[in-house]
Amino acid sequence: MERSDPLPTKPAVLQEFADRFLDRVNHSRLEEKTSKFYRTGWRLLKSTSVAILRVDKITSDCAEQLKFPGSAANANCALRTLRRMLHKAEEWKVIGHAPKIKMMKEHGRHLRLDDEAERKLMAGALACSWRPRTRELFRDIVILMRDTGMRNERELFRMRIENLDWQNRLIFVPDSKTEEGRRLVPNERASPRDSTGQVRCEAGGMGISVEALRCRASKVNLQSLSTSAQQGGSSERTGSLLCAT
């Protein structure tokens, strides 16, 4: 027999199975970012034709015919969620075997946080109805993102005072997306900017000295950008949208 249950019941449709799957996601030891990923994936899936199919009727061909709005990364979020749901269905003996789900090809990121992008972000900050202190914090985040190479949400935003080694001018990253990302970010010396506009340390990785960081911050005059934020075209409005997200 395909399943060990002597009286097998008809498998539920994917929409009904999703309730069990999401309940498991919400009450498991998954990281919040992973749980959010699966919830977003199901939000994309539930508006497609596959949501009303029985779990045992979903095949690789069904998955390949699905279309989602946005980029390939957005589609892969839904497809990875579907793949995970089907593997859970197999694990829970709802289906005999989970089909292979093929991902869409994603293209690498080409945008860089260079001088122009930084200027637009700062101009966009002025267009937002933020308090002066909030704008100052945003400026600090942009400068640190660019000059240390730290990831924003996982590394930079979680920085604590005990992660700062003022004597040796190092920033310790205790948690990151990858195992290699758990590291010390040098803040002792800054090498000249390369052709991409980034600052690289001789010790490897990204870094900038405290003095250089202060110098960079003093050069970013938010008030001098107020005119460009108010009079700029679509490119400036893009910066405003970036700071609002």
| pLDDT range class, residue 198, cuts 50, 70, 90 | very low
Is the distance from CB of 193 to CB of 170 less than 8 angstroms?
A: no
Say which residue, 236 or 45, is predicted with more confidence.
45
pLDDT of amino acid 187: 62
Q: What is the rounded CA–CA span in Å between residue 58 and residue 42?
A: 15
Burial label for 208, CB within 10 Å (0-12, 13-18, 19+), is buried
pLDDT of amino acid 34: 93
* pLDDT tens-digit map of 61-86: 999 999 999 999 999 999 999 999 99
pLDDT of amino acid 234: 39
Three-state secondary structure call for residue 10: coil
* pLDDT tens-digit map of 105-158: 987 766 778 888 889 999 999 999 999 999 998 988 888 888 788 887 888 888
Is the distance from CB of 41 to CB of 5 less than 8 angstroms?
A: no
| Domain ranges across the chain | 14-91, 115-244
Q: What is the rounded CA–CA span in Å between residue 122 and residue 134?
A: 12
| pLDDT range class, residue 49, cuts 50, 70, 90 | very high
* pLDDT tens-digit map of 10-29: 789 999 999 999 999 999 99
Q: What is the rounded CA–CA span in Å between residue 57 and residue 68?
A: 20
Q: What is the mean pLDDT of residues 163-192?
A: 75
Is the distance from CB of 43 to CB of 59 less than 8 angstroms?
A: no
Give the side-chain half-sphere CA count within 13 A for 62: 20
Sheet with 183-186, side-by-side order of all strands:
164-165, 170-173, 183-186
Location of structure tokens 């970010």: 185
The model's pTM is 0.57
Q: What is the rounded CA–CA span in Å between residue 45 and residue 26?
A: 18
Q: For residue 101, what are the contacts with CB-CB under 8 A and spacing of at least 6?
A: 60, 63, 79, 80, 82, 83, 86
Q: Name 51's bridge partners.
A: none
Is the distance from CB of 222 to CB of 135 less than 8 angstroms?
A: yes
Q: What is the rounded CA–CA span in Å between residue 219 and residue 241?
A: 23
Q: What is the rounded CA–CA span in Å between residue 203 and residue 186?
A: 7
